[in-house]
Structure 1
Amino acid sequence: MRPAGRHALEILARLGYGARGFTYCLVGGLALLAAFGAGGQAGGSRSALLVLLERPFGRALLAAVALGLAAFALWRVVEALSDADGHGRSPKGLATRAGHLLGGGLYGSLGVSLLGVALGRGRGGGAEDQGARDWTAWLLQQPFGQWLVGAVGLGVVAAGAAFVLKGWRGDVTRLLALPVDARPWAVQVGRFGYAARGVTFWIIGGFLVAAALESRSSDVKGLGGALQALRGQPYGWVLLALTAAGLAAFGTFGLVQARYRRIDPPDLGAAGKAVADGALGR
């Protein structure tokens, strides 16, 4: 039997995977409707979740998802610093852990922002990509700023390549304890989802590289901007529909992860020490 602290971390992780899965289902579903001209929107996570405010009990739903995303952020940070998934200290393992740590920060920021909106203490509107443009503008003003932004863009492109490769190789269920009859469809859903997510990372990274080359932060776009860029291409509705379906598949796979992922959380004391050591640079 696991100690209470480890059990609590596992619950937080599962709630987090579920919240992320729900978010991507919503993003993909709304973008799919937009591709076929049936309403919806080709937007990012924030704008998709704000649609909940238009539904009955919308603020409560938004608050629940925001708390789930905050839980996912906490799990990502603990997972990265304590190496709960056993990625190790190889270059690939450290890169994966660094990506999870960065993702934890982004999901935490999104969760806190949306919780403020749900509680009536934050703004619901505003340009969705403005945050990314603001930090890009700040980074461009630093010494070697263009090189730094370009490096970030190339890193995002590399992460997209890793997602596409993961979808192609089909090892998406390696960390899942699935029933035998669920494995075939879960593999296909996960592969499709990771490939679509990789495509959006390529586009986002490409915009960052362009911003670095032109030293212009206004070129930066997030997930919503990436989907809109697809829509603007020849046969864009087809590209948008395929990518949107893939993102919805990634969301569905996230719900599967929430139920069946193998999660081995560290002891809370060890996790706190890992976080402290990471913050102090030890």
Structure 2
Amino acid sequence: MPPQAATQIAGEVAYEGKFQWLTRLGFAARGLLYILIAVLVVRTGRTEDLTGALEYVGHGAGKFLLAGLAAGLATYGLWRLSDAALGTEHPGTEWKQLGKRAVAGGIGAIYIYLAFKAVRVILAGRSGAMGTEQQADTVLDLPGGELVLLGAAAILAIAACNQFYKALRCRFMRTLQEGASAKGWIKWMGRLGYAARGVIFFVVAWLIYRAAVDHKASEAGNLEKALDVLRGPFLLPIAAGLFLFGTFSLVEARYRAIHKPPVDGVKRKIEDKVTR
């Protein structure tokens, strides 16, 4: 094998290894945030959303952990965006695959934004982002703002149904590497975790729906307010479910099958078009 070819292959293997490692770090970051939210509920009764969890971590020596979380969240977001753009996890141009890629793009954008807020916390001590109520108030001031909020509520309701569907059919097990995909305890951890997230998504969708119908931004809410709504007999079971979802994310960090973006194929297509 020519030395240049061997060097190129070695570089590709190293790149793939770094990409996979960083993406796994992203799954771990997501898992740690959900575990922290659940632990705060159980131990102190305090409710937080993902941004609040980032701010909770970002004090003193916790900034070093937050820097790792920011890197992981950013890479996880990029991995999702690569799926949307290149079909990394959902190749093909059928409507079903394109729909999944569109969802991946939305998820990727959310986690890139979370990474940005984590960096803001490191630099300024807080995320500096508007809360859900402020965002809803801004939207309601726009022409047709109620319809925008109703659309957001509908999207979240669909996302909640998707979480329940995953919990019912256990489709999340298909993405795990051989061995982990056959373990019953991992399956039930994922099922209960996705079910808890489904409940949260439904509550948030209801809050945004009420804000739109009543034209009151104060009724809108996020994960934190959803947990407040569930205070009482439902709070601890949902917190336990979020803890299980976070733990399942850690399992994914170790065992999920992660594909390298097909950048070489895209590069070849571009070169072919340029040379024509």
Identify the TM-score tier after normalising by the shorter chain: 0.7 to 0.9
For 1:181 and 1:97, how far apart are their aligned partners in 2? Answer: 23
Cα contact 2:192–2:245 (8 A) shared by 1 = yes
2:17 aligned with 1:7: yes
User: Following the alignment from structure 2 to structure 1, what is the Cα–Cα distance between the partners of residues 97 and 153?
Assistant: 20
Aligned residue number for residue 126 of structure 2: 124
Alpha carbons of 1:248 and 1:18: their partners in 2 closer, same or farther (altered >3 Å)?
same
Give the deviation of 1:62 after TM superposition.
1.4
What are the equivalent positions in structure 2 for 1:85-96 lying under 5 Å apart? 85-86=89-90, 88-96=92-100
Q: How far 1:83 moved relative to its partner?
A: 1.6
SS at match of 1:173: helix
Name the CA distance, whole Å, in 1 between partners of 2:245 and 2:119. 24
From 221, 237, 243, the equivalent of 2:238 is: 243
2-structure distance, mates of 1:112, 1:240: 30
Bigger Cα displacement from structure 2, 98-107 vs 4-13: 4-13
CA distance in 1, matches of 2:240, 2:127: 26
Gaps of 5+ in 1: 34-38, 275-282
Flag the structure with more relative contact order, 1 or 2, with Cα contacts below 8 A and sequence separation at least 6.
Answer: 1
The structural deviation recorded for 1:252 is: 0.6
- Checking the alignment, whether the CA contact within 8 Å between 1:67 and 1:115 is kept in structure 2 is no
Looking at structure 2, the residues matched to 171 and 40 of structure 1 have their Cα atoms a distance apart, in angstroms, of: 33
Runs of 4+ in 1 over 6 A off after TM superposition: 271-274
Q: Residue 81 of structure 1 corresponds to which residue in structure 2?
A: 85
Aligned amino acid, residue 193 of structure 2 = G
SS at structure 2 position matched to 1:265: coil
The aligned residue for residue 252 of structure 2 is 257
Q: How far is the alpha carbon of 1:179 from its aligned partner?
A: 2.0
Cα distance, 1:270 vs structure 2 = 5.5
Supply the RMSD in Å over aligned alpha carbons.
Answer: 2.6
Letter in 1 for 2:69: V
- 1:23 is displaced (CA, Å) by 1.0
Change (3 A) 1:212 1:271: farther
Give the C-alpha shift of residue 199 in structure 1: 0.6
The one-letter code matched in structure 2 to 1:153 is A
* Partners of 1:49 and 1:62 within 8 A in 2: yes
- TM-score, scaled relative to structure 2: 0.83
2:117–2:127 Cα contact (<8 Å) kept: no
TM-score calculated relative to the size of structure 1: 0.82
The equivalent position to 1:52 in structure 2, one of 57, 80, 95, is 57
Do the aligned partners of residues 273 and 183 (structure 1) sit closer, same or farther apart at CA in structure 2, a change above 3 Å counting?
farther
Identity in percent:
32
Gaps of 5+ in 2: 1-8, 270-276
3-state SS, counterpart of residue 84 of structure 1: coil
Shift of 1:139: 3.2
